[in-house]
Amino acid sequence: MRNHALLVLLFSSITSLSQDCNNSLSGKVTDIHDGQLLTGVTLIVAETDQAVQTNLDGTYSFSNLCNATYYIQVSHPYCLTKGFTVKVSGDTNKSFKLEHHIEELNQITIDGKAYSDKSKTLLENSINQEYLERYSSGSLGDALKSLSGVSSLNTGNTVVKPMINGLHSSRVVIINNGVRMEDQDWGAEHAPNIDINSVSNLTVVKGAGALQYSGDAVGGVIVAESSKVPVKDSLYGKSLMTATTNGRGSALSSKLTKSYQNGWHATLQGSLKRFGDFKAPNYVLSNTGIFERSASLQVGFNRFDYGFEGYYSIYKNEIGILAASHLGGAQDQTRAIESAIPLTIEDFTYKIDKPKQDVSHHLARLKAFKRFNNFGKLSLQYDFQRNNRLEFDIRRGDDKEKPSVDLELDTHTVLLDLESELKDEMTLKSGLMTRYQNNFAAADTGVRRLIPDYQMYDIGVYFVADYQLSDQLLLEAGARYDYSYMDVFKFYKTSFWESRNYDQLLPEIVLEEFENQILTNPQLNFSNGSATLGANYTFGEDYKLFFNYSIASRAPNPSELFSEGLHHSASRIEIGDLRFNSEISHKVSLTLQGDDDNFSYSITPYINTVSDFIIIEPVEVRQTIRGSFQVWEYRQTDAQLLGVDVDASYAFTNNVRLNSQFSLVKGYDQTLDAPLIGMPPVNISNEIVYQNSEFNNIRLSLQSAYHFKQNDFPNNNFEVYVPQTETYQEVDISSTPNAYHLLNFNSNIDINIKQKSTLTVGLKITNLMNTSYRNYLNRLRHYADDLGRNFLFNIKINY
Amino acid sequence: MQTIWAETFYLILKSIIDLTIQKNKNMKNLKKMKNLKFLTAALVASSLFIGCSKDDDPQPVNEEEIITTMTVTLEPADGSADVILEFSDLDGDGPNEPEITDGLLAAGATYSGSIVLLNEAEEEAENITEEVEEENLEHQFFYTVGSGLDVTTSGENLDDEGNILGTMFTLTTGTVSSGELTFTLVHEPTKPNDGLESAGGEEDISVTFNVSVE
């Protein structure tokens, strides 16, 4: 390529005579991938041999040019050199784009964004690879909650579900390598099926503005991406090992990439995690072990103007659920809540017994793209996912080894996306999505289906455009429309069907009547519109203001529509309503971002108003042979969530830095004028970091995290008759745990072993003071304390 | 479904491998070949997937484990008529209220009690007591006598390790009185134990009857 450019240079020396030669040519040079300004780019005018370099703003300027056509060679150390023909007429402005390759090898880091923006008018919070590696033995949710405004809804310490600005489950969309995860995400106790070690960059968009991914992200979008492979001949990889004292287990992960100058590349990655029972400060949390395995293979061919890629990953996770949380009715629940320690504590074991979850997730993706001149980048993607979810309860007799829940969810998606640059200042992203989904609930579980069999067809179209109005101001607007059709086969209990008057209201959907059940065929349609409008304003030297208003519409999920019966893991009867419509959220957020020499910060207040917000709340207590159970029914209401996220970072010296975070969110049910359940309490975290790149890149940090007590919560307590005491006792399922303070320590140091290999050794201690605490957002908080102190030793080798 | 899957994957992988090999042989035609092959693979794959949906109506699930009915038979030592206490709730966790039959006992008498659990939700009613007795180590019945009722109870039958199982019990009545009598079956209790409070486990049954002694 370089030779080619030089040849062109030699043959294109046409000089024009007798003209006005006082014109200037100026502009900027950006990276074609992400629009990042490139500094230190050399530009040579072939005809005059003038040479300049771009300055820190990525701009350049030539003077004394004539009204003529010039050939300009543009080169940069990390880019392929390119030649451009430019017609100069008067003072001319021309910007160039180079393909800026990311040098991943041996941690040569260069300034520039390796991952593109998901939304230009919503502040994105990202977690890079180095940071993710510190969570290698944990889960995706553990790493995410280190971001301000992101918390997690836990079931124990191994099922960690991310929560953005107080919303979770179906309201948070997770994109894994360009594929929307379809893994029965509606369940509060269903964690995302992604191995954290397969992710190189995690981005959280706290809003629905990223319409290219979905229109129903009422809470926000989480984007997990794997690293980009450089177009050069190379073979590199890394291995990570973590051993922990709490859980007495370890996590292993390895990744190997082979790449060629001609664009071919392949990456193989695998992880293995095995932990036994974890420990609270004072006792073993029996049956909380985890066994996670995952592997992925990526093969692709990448040239600047076209490329394709195949990706396949398998993820399998077996998770034990705290033995003491397995309960019968309300009388049981009362005893478990009243007891200061879990009612089942056994010796440490690696064995994962029932109750447990056993989930596997397959993901296959084929993607191809081509860049067309004056048209844009067109990509076509097909992906397939198969999620198989087994949940095992403690059962009796022949059913002992049978799962109580056995669901298989298959999803096929075809995406067609076009990213076009209409003008230098304007880009347009548009696309089309079609999806087919089939859920199959096995009949041989001996337990009535929690989620019915259904087929779902979706189609979506979107566009998002941004326009750089001036150097300071960028505007963004987008819209999306999704249509979904659900064809459901649902068995209702005859007694339930009649008690709801459905036999009068919906007789047309009955297919067949059995002895005490009715087979129905609800066919549901949802038309959802969503839109975003935003601006990004840069002022002064260091300030940026983001403004975004997004509308998101979410169709009710199968659990909200079809629940009808005992939900064992929640120890309550749950009832949905098949007549629900979509919930619609309006979210306005504003961010002020400042970046001084040694002080940077961002403040993001937001307000999210959701109409027809679907919540579940208790309505009565029902007597069964197993004692009393609380009945929770889904209901639609109007809700409002408001809050603010603050991040700040101050550098005392080159090596010492203080990072602070503050998140606050308040949620209200406007119909009842009552607080929403499960809102994260206010939390503040401060971390002092010492890092010295001259001394083996040593990094030491001490973090203090303070979680306040949640004072705003609905009172869902109920009274239950306890025959043993012959009294009505209040079952306190609402009270929130006390505030707590945790200290975490983290350290790592690099050791060079060979020229191309680095060894990083680290020690991390979580809950340094071994504090006993309970977390409001842990669904098992009623039954046991959270994790005690944990020492994590990790070793990483880059090669 | 599974086999179609395997085949499709094979197809996709094979086309990728083929492409890799072909690249070296035939650099010039590569571009066209590749696009064509890739598209074909993708199309075939998607048509295969979408082509195979399940057309049959799903079958109803009969709840195998559910206990719908508990019958406590109290046989007096003097040979008079048995007293039957019964709790029956055929729709399980559904909205219908259970049917409860309370009992009348004679004062100063001794009864030998036995408990039978049934699942009447299945077409042929299943006797769950047998399962409980088979898994005697993992089960225990507890009896709770309300304060007004002058009755004492003791579990009779034992599990394989000599701890109480309690599907059979003895009930002795005292003076004329009335009150509640509660039967609780715990699955996976800590054994031996000092009673329900500390037994842990999960309640499979918790049923209260109103009993009078006359």
Closest C-alpha among A315, A322, A310 to residue A365: A310
Contact A45, A72 (CB under 8 A): yes
Given a cut of 90, whether residue A46 has pLDDT beyond it is no
CB B48 within 8 A of CB B91: no
**Nearest residue to A616 via CA among A646, A656, A574, A658:** A574
CATH number (domain holding residue B167): 2.60.40
Residue A443: pLDDT over 50: yes
Residue A89 has a pLDDT of 81
Contact A499 B95 (CB under 8 A): yes
pLDDT at A183 over 50: yes
- pLDDT tens-digit map of A261-295: 888 999 999 999 999 999 999 999 999 999 999 99
- Say if residue A228 is exposed, middle or buried (CB neighbours under 10 Å; 0-12, 13-18, 19+): middle
Can you read off the two tokens belonging to residue A409?
């969810």
The answer on B15 and B107 residing in a single domain is no
- Do B203 and B125 sit in the same domain of this protein? yes
Q: Do B115 and B201 have their domain in common? A: yes
Do B46 and B105 fall within a single domain?
Answer: no
* A758 has pLDDT over 50: yes
Instruction: Measure in Å the smallest separation between the Cα of B116 and chain A Cα atoms.
Output: 13
Contacts of B204 in chain A (CB under 8 A): 328, 396, 626
Minimal C-alpha gap between B184 and chain A (Å): 8
pLDDT tens for each residue of A87-96? 888 888 888 8
Residue B79 C-alpha, separation from nearest chain A C-alpha, in angstroms? 30
Q: Quickly state the pLDDT bin for A35 (edges 50, 70, 90).
A: low
Whether B155 maps to a domain, the answer reads yes
The total number of residues written for chain B in this structure: 214
Q: Which of B32, B35, B43, B65 to mutate to test the interface with A (most CBs of A within 10 A)?
A: B65
Helical pair B2-25 and B30-51, crossing angle rounded to 10 deg: 180
Residues B89, B18 share a domain: no
Query: What pLDDT is attached to residue B87?
Result: 95
**pTM of the prediction?**
0.83
CA distance B69 to B86: 7
d(CA A160, CA A787): 13
Task: State mean pLDDT over A471-477.
Answer: 93
A622-646: average pLDDT: 92
Phi, psi for residue B196 in degrees, rounded to 5: -60, -35
Residue B62 placed within a domain: no
How many residue pairs from chains A and B have C-beta atoms closer than 8 A? 183
Domain that holds residue B85: 69-213
User: Picking from A144-148, A247-251, A751-755, B129-133, which range would have the lowest pLDDT averaged per residue?
Assistant: A751-755
Helix (H) or strand (E) holding B134: helix B128-134
Q: Are residues B28 and B99 in the same domain?
A: no
Same domain, B43 and B76: no
Residue A103 binned pLDDT confidence (cut-offs 50, 70, 90) = very low
What whole-number distance in Å separates Cα of residue A515 and Cα of residue A424? 69
Q: Where are the beta strands (DSSP E) in chain B?
A: 69-76, 83-88, 99-101, 103-105, 110-119, 126-127, 139-145, 151-155, 168-173, 177-187, 202-213
**Chain A closest-CA separation from residue B63 CA (Å):** 5
Residues B183, B94 share a domain: yes
CB within 8 A of B24, min separation 6: which ones?
none
At B197 the pLDDT is: 82
B61·A412 Cβ contact <8 A:
no
Per-residue pLDDT at A123: 85
Q: Sort A246 into a burial class: Cβ within 10 Å, 0-12 / 13-18 / 19+.
A: buried
- Closest-CA residue to A9 (of A46, A64, A43): A46
Tell me how close the Cα of B13 comes to any Cα of chain A, in angstroms.
8
Residue A624 to residue B92, Cβ atoms within 8 A: yes
The token pair at A706 is 């303070």
- Choose the mutation target among B43, B93, B116, B144 for the interface with A, i.e. most A CBs under 10 Å: B93
- Angstrom CA distances, A398 to B117, B124, B189, stand at 16, 16, 20
Q: What is the pLDDT of residue B12?
A: 55
Report residue A112's pLDDT band, with 50, 70 and 90 as the boundaries: very low
Residue B13 covered by a domain: yes
Q: Which helix (H) or strand (E) holds A335?
A: helix A330-338
* B33 occurs within a structural domain: yes
Residue B61 is assigned to a structural domain of this protein:
no
- Residue pLDDT, tens place only, A670-710: 999 999 999 999 999 999 999 998 899 999 999 999 999 99
Give how far B55 is from chain A: nearest CA, Å.
10
**pLDDT over 90, % of chain A:** 65
Between A617 and A641, where is the model more confident? A641
Chain A's closest residue to B59, CA to CA, is: A443
Same structural domain, B46 and B78: no
Contact A480, A531 (CB under 8 A): yes
Give every CB contact of residue B199 below 8 A, 6+ residues apart in sequence.
Answer: B140, B142, B186, B189, B190, B191, B193
Task: Please check whether residues B204 and B115 belong to one and the same domain.
Answer: yes
Contact predicate A659/A689, CB 8 Å: yes
Q: A109 to each of A103, A114, A130, A695, A700, how far by Cα in Å?
A: 7, 10, 12, 18, 21
Domains of chain A listed by start with CATH number? 2-98 (2.60.40.10), 105-222 (2.170.130.10), 223-798 (2.40.170.20)
Residues of chain A with C-beta less than 8 angstroms from the C-beta of B86: none
Q: Is residue B59 domain-resident?
A: no
* CB contact (8 A) between residue B200 and residue A343: yes
Structural domains in chain B (count): 2
Average pLDDT value over all residues in chain A: 89
Give the 3-state secondary structure of residue A571.
Answer: coil
What residues contact residue B37 under an 8 Å CB cut-off, 6+ apart? Answer: B15, B18, B19
- A421-427 long-range Cβ contacts below 8 angstroms, 24+ apart: A421/A376, A422/A465, A424/A95, A424/A468, A425/A467, A425/A468, A425/A469, A426/A465, A426/A466, A426/A467, A426/A468, A427/A465, A427/A466
Chain B residues with beta carbon closer than 8 angstroms to that of A326: 202
For residues A102 and A114, what is the distance between their CA atoms, to the nearest angstrom? Answer: 7
Nearest neighbour of B206 by CB, restricted to A331, A494, A511:
A331
Note whether residue B206 is domain-resident: yes
Q: What does residue A331 show for φ and ψ, rounded to 5 degrees?
A: -65, -40
Burial state string for A180-191 with b = 16 or more CB within 10 A and e = fewer than 16: bbbbbbbbbbbb
Given a cut of 50, the residues of chain B with pLDDT beneath it are: 1-3, 19-34, 36, 43, 47-54
CB A66 within 8 A of CB A92: no
Nearest CA in chain B to A573: B93
Least CB–CB distance from A519: residue in B19, B57, B135: B57
- How far CA A63 is from CA of A45, A67, A456, in Å, comes to 11, 12, 62
Sorted by sequence, the CB contacts under 8 Å of residue B132 that are 6+ apart come out as A396, B117, B139, B165, B167, B185
Question: How many C-beta atoms surround the C-beta of residue A132 within 10 A?
Answer: 20
Encoding tokens for residue A534?
């935003």
Check A438 against B53: CB less than 8 A apart. Answer: yes
Between A40 and B212, where is the model more confident?
B212
| In a shared domain, residues B18 and B74 | no
In a domain, residue B56? The reply is no
Distance CA A401, CA B191 (A): 23
d(CA A220, CA A281): 35
Residue type at position A323: A
One-letter amino acid of A620: E
Residues B80, B182, single domain; the answer is yes
pLDDT tens digits for A352-391?
Answer: 999 999 999 999 999 999 988 878 899 999 999 999 999 9
The Cα–Cα gap between B202 and B194 comes to 16
pLDDT digits (tens, 9 = 90+) for A564-590: 988 877 788 999 999 999 999 999 999
Condensed to tens digits (0 to 9), the pLDDT of residues B136-177 reads: 999 999 999 999 999 999 999 999 999 999 999 999 999 999
- The pLDDT tens digits for A207-216 are 888 999 999 9
Cα Rg of chain B (Å, integer): 31
Three-class SS state of A9: helix
Short-list A611, A670, A608, A698, CA closest to A644: A608
Residue of B nearest to A326 (CA): B202
